[in-house]
Amino acid sequence: MPSSITAAYLARYRSIAEVADTAAELLPLTGAQRRFLITRRSDPRGRTDIVPLFFAFPRGTVDLPRLRRAAVRLAAHHPALRGSFTVLRGTPVLRLCEPSVEVARAVTDPDGAADPADPHFSDGAARAALRRALLDWPLDGSVLRLLLASAPDDEEELLAVALDHAACDEQSLGLVTEGLAIAYAADGDSAEEGDGGDDGDRTAAYRAAVELQLAAEAQAAGEAAQTHWAARLGVLGEADAPRQGADPAGSAWSTGMLTDRLPAVTGAARGGVFPALLDAVAAAAHHLAGGTDRTLALGYPWGGRPAEATPVLGCFLNTVVHPGPPGPPRDLDALADAWWDDLDHADTPFDEVVRAARSAGARWSGALDGLLTFEDLHRRPPLALDGVTGREVHLAGRPLPVPLAVSASHGDDLLIRLAWDRDRYPEAAAEQAFGTLLGAVRRHLNPTA
């Protein structure tokens, strides 16, 4: 009998692959990929979890037909971009097929105006067009979508590079921007679309990486991990009820965003950035929730390719859960020690973590009170098309799977963005929570200031 959720999944996958007519075209999914697929199928809004990047280019820079050829060529080199994530006989799988790419111009309003009902009205028509297009992502649509938008009088065009999260993690973003730039630069009038090279080798490398990841997940579901997570998360309780009158399905413009930039963290202090952010997010989430006395469940994506795997494009992360207790900011050294202990068990699949917490008495469904994502921009090359480097911009208004999400990007500075659900919390409360977050980060990273 399988000893873990991962082992049970692999047993089902292998039984299907053994009898499938096209077994060579079926690939297993990592734990994160399975969660994304199951979540979208059960979401009443039918929304796909996506990872978008946005770049501003001088008007006329981007040649759409050339970009389309480059995108198809890029996708042909990566199994995660030339397949469909589907469920076969109740089992999530990746079915290989043609490159799954859409390249199009997002339609702006004829008069160039944004929707006045959008609280981000001042962003302009191009941003509104991209938001609408991404909110309307088809449930079984393309894995990679490149959308260009501009209003008639804009001097810049905005390009969205968006991927189904099941095919993309932080490491994949760099592979996409670098690969797209290379394919665009190499394009010629006689270039053939879909030049996939040796598909067999690439598929074998991807399959090997996924199987190594699944082996790591199965290994991380053992007794030691169960004991660790039971002790860490047994105090979690039920999530607070949504605000009365909130639309459970969400609205198109239900998300707000606040941003600020702090100085880049250098030297040995860089090791304290993430635990400092964890504590700051906990403080902000407690403030936003009205000072609840329960311990909050905060999630953050973590992980990379297994050590033996090649750097294939895909989704090899796990959602690690951090308990955020009420009270004043904690000692950063103690925070870091606990965080490092958690990272020793970071491969434990999320469902196994929930099971461990509930075995210890937690009244927790697995719902998260907040999310923290962190990206080291030095690991992702910028998107350059024919020698022109796009200026990265950030769009508010994306739907959130949680009440509160904080994103931090560390490059020449530390850019911190807080997004919140407007159906739950008013803007004034979010602004106060953001102030709490920034204050906690500053105290942790520059305590003598």
Decide: 87 and 78 in contact? Cβ < 8 Å.
no
User: Mind spelling out the 3-state secondary structure of 30-91?
Assistant: CHHHHHHHHHHHHCCCCCCCEEEEEEEEECCCCCHHHHHHHHHHHHHCCHHHCEEEEEECCE
| Residue that the structure tokens 């919140």 belong to | 420
* Element spanning 383, H or E: none
Decide: 348 and 221 in contact? Cβ < 8 Å.
yes
* Phi, psi torsion values for 74, nearest 5 degrees: -60, -50
Decide: 118 and 257 in contact? Cβ < 8 Å.
no
222-445 matches 5-213 in CATH topology: yes
Among 386, 389, 390, residue whose Cα is nearest residue 70? 386
Evaluate the CA torsion angle 396, 379, 268, 229 in order and state its sign.
positive
Decide: 311 and 293 in contact? Cβ < 8 Å.
no
pLDDT tens over the chain, length 449 residues: 357 889 999 999 999 888 766 656 899 999 999 999 988 877 666 678 899 999 999 999 999 999 999 999 999 999 999 988 988 888 999 999 999 999 999 988 765 455 555 555 456 889 999 998 998 888 878 999 999 999 888 999 999 999 999 999 999 999 999 999 999 999 864 444 444 456 788 999 999 999 999 999 999 999 999 999 999 999 998 766 555 344 444 444 578 999 999 998 887 778 889 999 999 999 999 999 887 889 999 999 998 899 899 999 999 999 999 999 988 778 889 999 999 999 999 999 999 999 999 999 999 999 999 999 999 888 888 899 989 999 999 988 777 888 999 999 998 999 999 999 988 899 999 999 999 999 999 999 886 65
- The amino acid at residue 103 is V
The tokens of 289 are what? 């929730």
* β-strand partners of 371: 299, 405
CATH of 222-445, one of 3.40.50.300, 3.40.50.970, 3.30.559.30, 3.40.50.10320: 3.30.559.30
Sheet of 391-393, strands arranged across: 101-105, 144-149, 156-164, 50-58, 391-393
Among 349, 356, 28, 351, residue whose Cα is nearest residue 217? 349
* β-strand partners of 57: 157
* Domain boundaries of the chain, sorted by first residue: 5-213, 222-445
Q: What is the pLDDT of residue 251?
A: 45
Decide: 57 and 67 in contact? Cβ < 8 Å.
no
Q: How far is CA 234 from its chain centroid?
A: 26
CB within 8 Å of 222: residues ≥ 6 apart: none
Positions of E strands within 235-393: 255-263, 296-302, 318-324, 370-376, 384-385, 388-389, 391-393
Helix (H/G/I), strand (E/B), else coil: 272: helix
- pTM (2 d.p.): 0.89
| Residue that the structure tokens 């979010």 belong to | 430
Decide: 282 and 324 in contact? Cβ < 8 Å.
yes
Instruction: Classify burial at 197, counting beta carbons within 10 Å of its beta carbon; exposed 0-12, middle 13-18, buried 19 or more.
Output: exposed
Classify residue 210 by its DSSP letter: H
Class of domain 5-213: alpha beta
